[in-house]
Structure 1
Amino acid sequence: MKIHHLFWSICLCFSTHILFAQNYQKTSSGIKTTVNAVDIEVQFFAPAVARVIKSPEGVAYEKQSLSVIAKPEKVSFKADIQDNKIVLNTSELSVSVDTGTGIVSYFSKDGKTLLTEKSGMQFIDFDDAGTKTYQVYQPFVLDKEEAIYGLGQLQNGKMIQRNMTKNLIQGNVEDVSPFFQSTKGYGVFWDNYSPTLFTDNEVETSFRSEVGDCVDYYFMYGKNADGVIAQVRSLTGQAPMFPLWTYGYWQSKERYKSQEEVVDVVRKYRELGIPLDGIIQDWQYWGHNYLWNAMDFQNPTFNNPQKMIEDVHAMNAHMAISIWSSFGPMTKPYRELDKKGMLFDFTTWPQSGLESWPPNMEYPSGVRVYDAYNPEARDIYWKYLNDGIFKLGMDAWWMDSTEPDHLDWKPEDMDTKTYLGSFRKVRNAYPLMTVGGVYDHQRAVTSDKRVFILTRSGFLGQQRYGANVWSGDVASTWESFRNQIPAGLNFSLCGMPHWNSDIGGFFAGHYNKSWNDDSASKNPLYQELYVRWLQFGTFNPMMRSHGTDVYREIYKFGKKGEPVYDAIEKMIGLRYSLLPYIYSTSWEVSNRQSSFMRALMMDFVDDRKVWDINDEYMFGKSILVAPIAHAQYTPEAVVKVSEEEGWNRDGAKKTETDVAVDFTETKSTNIYLPAGTLWYDFWTNEKHEGGKEIAKETTLDVIPLYVKAGSIIPVGPQVQYATEKPWDHLELKVYAGANGNFILYEDEFDNYNYEKGAYTEIPISWNNASRKLTIGARKGAYEGMLKNRKFTVTLQDGTQKSVDYSGKAVSVKF
């Protein structure tokens, strides 16, 4: 009997082992299992990054990510069965898969629940333009109190992206990415490119995509916002360095109508002594709309583009030019792409071959969007861009309509065939593909000039392509201005660090007396909005003035000695004085996965009051920026303008123009200073305790700025362009009250030699207890670097000491 009992005990143990073994299969990067007729795979890309893929049992599919360029790693992990769950443990993360429900949950190493899926995941059969696939849906359960951020750039004015339903589809003024990160220190990227409904309510937080062969998402645990962003970039690509000059001031408008006008604007800035580094030429340098985006100068007012570029360069400025994702039927690119079936048939901008508004559809433009998903089409695009423009010496690209424009939308448009399947399947990734095509091709041509692309749309991963995304054709209203602040912050929280908006808003015609008289630059209502927007733009990764209806050049707003002109001049000058700080921050962005525009929760997550502040942020890790986003001197004009209606100037509601205003009056605004540190008023050096709201007196030329205790801010010389003077005598502003560190970064400013190690770092530290500043030994070298220089160290109380520096460590004691 004992032998018989022992035999069955052994059999039972053996059978149980087989049963458990059949619950999952261990792979080199994770596990595979099947639960309730759903195949589930967990792959580790790093100890704190897991990819989850789900598909109907036994259904084969191919999924090549467009955003993620990383590969699964051989991560050390343990897998076992605990309480009917497959539990995977790495050094950073614990992931469990419920063997009864298939629900996947995530835990920190100390057992804290980070995120868990909710039951109800769906695959709904869907015919995608003749291809059998699915609509896919995955819900999650979030804590009631946690805040989430991201989803790209939305115009909803919200900082926290909760309690909302949003259809994520690319548009002119909204750039979407199905990604969010939480105040609990994790992020989720839903790797799907079709239109996707994001829902967050008291029941669930979910993604529902129109088409997908599988549920595919990445969970990353960074412990804090910077950590999550580092994981995003590890997955989807690092942000390369931009040239120093791109961080200077850019002037643009819709549009300069001749090459003489372009050159004259730069000349006028030089004559006035106003710093300028970039000038942008908008559309129609190619001629009429049938030649749309010809990548050729067929407009007779641009009859010598080579000379135009050389004239701009001779004044030590740089130039960008507008290029589009579509072509007119009379262009060479159109003809070649059309023969190969690489053009889409849905309606895009412009709809008429005539320039009149509204579009005269008796003369359709025939303009069509090209298939940027097709590598051969991207080759053709670059061939004409290179031969027609880049070889002339053009410095940068303004890639407009990269969402792309999709007008008169019809459901069947989404069935349009692309190289990668239906347009529906890959819709939201269009900007990633077209911008990436230009970046990759220019990098293949030369490493002597860094790629710089200003573009209207973005998708996760686009940061690897030298792209600075702007917020589209937003209206010139205070409400629109206010919306740009959280839009830029949430975009940055997706891991894409370069962002800006049209300073002053794009559609400003309602401030004119009549639609074509250009009186808005003299209208106090618009002047106040423009100055406040410009102050915000000073603390964006790109400082660029642009719009239609109104001239945007400083000399159109008055003259020196007048409040509006002086306020604009002051901000441009401040931008240039901060270039050493900004350029060093750009190195932190590229080399250490940091961010320029930092939502307050990034640095002060323990202060719950900052979680939902949508009108303040950190620029770099030292400067708190609090734009004045409400009118103080003039009544706010409430005008609803969309990017399409904005062109209909005849129908635009007009605002007041004759308003008596004294822009020299002192006003007041309230600022919240985050807890946990001391703060210094940038303008007055007045000290404040954090964790409270204060009143700040302002004038038109003052934006509230506060510097965190322990900060070290390098200040550069007064210049007319970014590289006019070497940084051989910098001021180091030191704000005592806490220990602090800063790394001053320098390289050759406009090539890719830094990727080969041609750069220097000078570590600078402040010891608050000993009141000693140490400028550490220089690390690295590059051709033409400064070997000797002087620093003037200034404490916030005005105390100064100078020191000579030759690359060896030196200290200054106060």
Structure 2
Amino acid sequence: MKERKNHKPTRLLKKFGLATLLPTLLATAVQPALAQPTPEAARSYQSHQLLEDKLIITTSDSQVTLTPLNNAALEIHYQREGLKQLPSFARAEKLTNQLKSDALAQLSVSEEALRYSLGELTAIIHKSPFAIEYLRDGKPLLSEEHGFFANQTMRGFRFNLAEQEKLIGGGQRVLGMDRRGHRLPLYNKAHYGYTTESEQMYFGLPAVMSSNKYILLFDNSATGTMDLGASEKDVLQFEAVAGRTSYIVVAGDTYPKLIENYVDVTGRQPLPPRWAFGNFASRFGYRSEQEVRDVVKKFREEDFPLDALVLDLYWFGADIQGHMGNLAWDEKAFPNPVGMMADLREDGINTILVTEPFVLSTSERWDSAVAANALAKNLAGQPKQFDFYFGNTGLIDVFSADGRDWFWNIYKGLKDQGVAGWWGDLGEPEVHPSDTVHTVGMADEIHNAYGHRWAQMLFDNEKAANADQRPFIMMRAGFPGSQRFGMIPWTGDVSREWGGLKPQVELSLQMGLLGFGYTHSDLGGFAGGEEFDRELYIRWLQYGAFQPVYRPHAQEHIAPEPVFHDRKTRDITREYVKLRYRLLPYNYTLAFENSQTGMPLMRPLFFDNENNLALMDNKDAYLWGNDFLVAPVTAEDTDEVAVQLPGGVWFDYWNDNQYGGDSARIKVNLETIPVLVRAGAFIPTVPDMRNTREYSSRDLRLDYYAHESAAQSSGYVYEDDGVTADAFSKGQYQKLRFAGERSETSIQFKFGLEGDGYTGAPESRNVELVVHNWQQAPAGINAGSQRINLVKKENQLTENTAWYDKRAKALHVKFGWAEKNQNLTVTQ
């Protein structure tokens, strides 16, 4: 929402058209805390049939279909005559890990129950009263309480909750990590200027992850609620006003495996283009072509790397109101957009445009949208018009072929001009009157899937236009499974204050655990702010170096770009931006892992100690990949941070101090935040660059953190050309593998290459191996059969030499890596 500061609530109601939703909101507000289903006769089993792998059960009031999705996931679909159903939005059309031939679903029948086993997940269907419970490895996992219910105004499910069970999920909320005890609205809704509390935000998810290692997903896009033991402490209830009456249960022996099984069902996030991991220039907003060119020039003058520039709504209008839907360049402000984008592209900078799904009746495209049947309808079958902040508007019906074709035709024209990526804003949709008619149903039936369908339209058409190209699609709202369309979410219009920074780790972790590993924040905060707070700004951008997308973005009265601030701010933030680029081998490998298994880039601490349930509540620190632990500084005037540790030994990334146990107190100054590295880790970095187009691992540094607790450790770097879609499956990649094995007298390092390579891959690499926590000069170093000599000074360090830094207790070894396999031994 592009709102000016200090709006009063009454102005918000008027300007944003919330009056059209007021009756619905009031009706919801006066409902009982937990709307009980109409009393029903106890459901009982009547018959069943096995159709291929689907188990279809007829009960006294419904048909129940159990569909295996993989060896650890089941869809359960209750259907009752006269109850409208919608297609599944959450499920991927093609599952990548279908049931294996040697582990087909097995059915056994007794007088009391049916036992339906997939291998990792088993459903026990009790006949009378009818109820389904789920087992993993023969142990209770989850069970229906009443199960399915439906009446004239509501439908949903009820499940039992275990006594000590914790529940993560529901998407973007600021409530703490464990959401048990909360009643969560399921209606994607903007929350402008939020800080440390929010029950309802831009991107809700009707799904939870349990501490008992299951995920429960309600595949229903309608307006609803998840009651996670708020009204009845041992009952999880999902309720919706309409929609598909199905849920999906996913099991896993570990949390990473649980996520992998889940994204196998809902779809894996494709690997973004490599430039998505670089620095973005973005604000609300650049008003002219000249301003764009001046901003890029400023980044170059101040020695800040830059990969992308984002244009907010001024690209199609001179001011905020009255232009939405034009989606064509304002020629007065941008006289030569094609030339501008070509020049940016020549400099390695990608142009991203904001687009919205609203077409104002005053816009240049209104008549075209009406003629093309592209807009959602009112109850009389005419284009639905309503007022909101930006003017009188209609809404593109992305659920209709006509709406999608009309919308994509605009995108295609812009793409042909040189646009590299898309930003979909206001896609909740921000205003969505209940009496809006879409092709597949009413607004309240499909509201939460609107952004999902919009992203799918973009992704499918991008792939059809160029199957070898990776799309960039950033959106504010979606539905479970939207990640398979390459959706990159952000956390909305956060307040530009310390209270806005505090919940950002929680928001990203919650989203990442349910498939959205690229959730990130407007670095520096977006909304409000009376004057520049240097400390807050620096802390936010420091945290940004270890989050999925590096994109400072804000209202323009305080510049969001670091290049426009004082020298001290520039110097500190420049180092973090450059550090992010140096860490590209590490970060890009995290992205590859996400594309293969769904593992988020930001990971909760409990992933490192699954038996410590207390770690599930930690919302202040996180693992960045496997080997970094990061704790952003979220309070002013901080010189020490208490960091909870998941166990093991950790090194301070800035000074090599060691920490262990359950917690650590880490000193910080304005130049540092707590960043720890796991003992035994290999951290790969490359030299500085102007943008990711210059990326190369020809000169590769590997920092190895030696410790007796890590006798064996390994790591790898994944590389491809950064642009080709599905490069890994096509064999167009390389994996650089490295491992260390410690004995009493030496460490043996092994280096190996996998894959057929890719366009631009180095033929050989110059490696600098830095062994941290090495207590004395080594007795000998051998690279294969070649002895490596020690030099006395750092400036004498060249290929096939080594230098021992006594002060830092670090050994630096330089050698060439050209062979597929290579060994290096350091003897004490």
Q: Tell me the residue number matched to 1:182.
A: 210
Q: Tell me the residue number matched to 1:419.
A: 439
Deviation at 1:448, TM superposition (A): 5.1
Deviation at 1:565, TM superposition (A): 2.6
Deviation at 1:780, TM superposition (A): 2.2
Q: Tell me the residue number matched to 1:551.
A: 559
Q: Tell me the residue number matched to 1:465.
A: 485
Deviation at 1:340, TM superposition (A): 4.1
Deviations 1:7-28 (A, max 9, x none): xxxxxxxxxxxxx996422221
Deviation at 1:741, TM superposition (A): 2.2
Distance 1:200 1:578 in 2: 40
Matched residues, percent identical? 25
TM-score, normalised to structure 1, is 0.84
Q: Tell me the residue number matched to 1:170.
A: 188
Q: Tell me the residue number matched to 1:4.
A: none
Deviations 1:446-500 (A, max 9, x none): 2454211121112211111122101111111222211221111000011111111
Q: Tell me the residue number matched to 1:641.
A: none
Give the superposed CA RMSD: 2.1
Structure 2 matches for 1:527-538, cutoff 5 A? 527-538=534-545
Deviation at 1:216, TM superposition (A): 0.2
Q: Tell me the residue number matched to 1:405.
A: 430
Q: Tell me the residue number matched to 1:542.
A: 549
1:327 aligns with 2:359: yes
Does the aligned pair in 2 maintain the 1:184–1:224 contact within 8 Å? Answer: no
Deviations 1:17-58 (A, max 9, x none): xxx9964222212322233423222121112111111123x5
Q: Tell me the residue number matched to 2:737.
A: 763
Match of 2:142 among 90, 103, 115: 115
Does the aligned pair in 2 maintain the 1:157–1:484 contact within 8 Å? Answer: no
Distance 2:552 2:566 in 1: 16
Structure 2 matches for 1:775-786, cutoff 5 A? 775-786=751-762
Unmatched runs of 5 consecutive residues or more in structure 2: 1-43, 192-200, 379-383, 774-809
Match of 2:166 among 133, 136, 147: 147
Q: Tell me the residue number matched to 1:35.
A: 59
Distance 2:460 2:365 in 1: 19
Distance 1:746 1:295 in 2: 36
Equivalent position SS for 1:499: coil
Distance 1:613 1:63 in 2: 38
Deviations 1:549-569 (A, max 9, x none): 31122232202xx2x332211
Deviation at 1:333, TM superposition (A): 4.1
Q: Tell me the residue number matched to 2:817.
A: 805
TM-score, normalised to structure 2, is 0.83
1:792 aligns with 2:764: no
Equivalent position SS for 1:541: coil
Match of 1:741 among 689, 697, 714: 714
1:711 aligns with 2:681: yes
Q: Tell me the residue number matched to 2:389.
A: 351
**Alpha carbons of 1:147 and 1:60: their partners in 2 closer, same or farther (altered >3 Å)?**
closer
Stretch moving more, 258-267 or 283-292: 283-292
Does the aligned pair in 2 maintain the 1:348–1:369 contact within 8 Å? Answer: no
Does the aligned pair in 2 maintain the 1:777–1:809 contact within 8 Å? Answer: yes
Equivalent position SS for 2:693: coil
AA aligned to 2:589 is S
Match of 1:572 among 547, 560, 577: 577
Deviations 1:45-98 (A, max 9, x none): 112111111123x55865421221246856623222346121112321221111
AA aligned to 1:806 is A
AA aligned to 1:185 is K
**Alpha carbons of 1:244 and 1:190: their partners in 2 closer, same or farther (altered >3 Å)?**
same
Distance 1:742 1:193 in 2: 41
Equivalent position SS for 1:435: helix
Does the aligned pair in 2 maintain the 1:497–1:596 contact within 8 Å? Answer: yes
Q: Tell me the residue number matched to 2:109.
A: 81
Distance 1:329 1:146 in 2: 51
Does the aligned pair in 1 maintain the 2:374–2:404 contact within 8 Å? Answer: no
Distance 1:555 1:69 in 2: 43
Does the aligned pair in 2 maintain the 1:761–1:780 contact within 8 Å? Answer: no
Deviation at 1:538, TM superposition (A): 1.3
Q: Tell me the residue number matched to 1:678.
A: 649
Equivalent position SS for 2:434: helix
Does the aligned pair in 2 maintain the 1:442–1:451 contact within 8 Å? Answer: yes
Equivalent position SS for 1:628: coil
AA aligned to 1:583 is Y
Q: Tell me the residue number matched to 1:653.
A: none
Does the aligned pair in 1 maintain the 2:325–2:359 contact within 8 Å? Answer: yes
AA aligned to 1:582 is N
Does the aligned pair in 2 maintain the 1:183–1:224 contact within 8 Å? Answer: no
Deviation at 1:191, TM superposition (A): 0.3
Deviations 1:544-588 (A, max 9, x none): 0001031122232202xx2x3322112112111111100111111
**Alpha carbons of 1:294 and 1:85: their partners in 2 closer, same or farther (altered >3 Å)?**
same
Distance 1:579 1:276 in 2: 14
Distance 1:381 1:177 in 2: 26
Distance 1:446 1:71 in 2: 20
Does the aligned pair in 1 maintain the 2:46–2:58 contact within 8 Å? Answer: no
**Alpha carbons of 1:322 and 1:63: their partners in 2 closer, same or farther (altered >3 Å)?**
closer
Distance 1:553 1:777 in 2: 39
Match of 1:380 among 375, 396, 406: 406
| Number of residue equivalences | 714
Does the aligned pair in 1 maintain the 2:259–2:597 contact within 8 Å? Answer: no
AA aligned to 1:351 is Y
Deviation at 1:813, TM superposition (A): 1.9
Match of 1:496 among 516, 522, 525: 516
Deviation at 1:321, TM superposition (A): 1.3
Does the aligned pair in 1 maintain the 2:120–2:136 contact within 8 Å? Answer: yes
Q: Tell me the residue number matched to 1:514.
A: none
Equivalent position SS for 1:291: coil
Deviation at 1:597, TM superposition (A): 0.9
1:302 aligns with 2:310: no
Does the aligned pair in 2 maintain the 1:151–1:180 contact within 8 Å? Answer: yes
Structure 2 matches for 1:481-520, cutoff 5 A? 481-509=501-529, 511=530, 520=531
Distance 2:326 2:546 in 1: 35
1:370 aligns with 2:396: yes
Equivalent position SS for 1:717: coil
AA aligned to 1:504 is G
AA aligned to 2:184 is K
1:446 aligns with 2:466: yes
Q: Tell me the residue number matched to 1:361.
A: none
Equivalent position SS for 1:294: coil
Match of 2:596 among 584, 591, 594: 591
Q: Tell me the residue number matched to 1:696.
A: 666
Deviation at 1:330, TM superposition (A): 4.5
Stretch moving more, 161-170 or 453-462: 453-462
Deviation at 1:800, TM superposition (A): 1.8
**Alpha carbons of 1:767 and 1:196: their partners in 2 closer, same or farther (altered >3 Å)?**
farther
Equivalent position SS for 2:374: coil
Deviation at 1:710, TM superposition (A): 2.3
Equivalent position SS for 2:260: helix
Unmatched runs of 5 consecutive residues or more in structure 1: 1-19, 127-134, 353-364, 512-519, 634-666
Deviation at 1:148, TM superposition (A): 1.7
Stretch moving more, 285-294 or 92-101: 285-294
Distance 2:176 2:227 in 1: 15
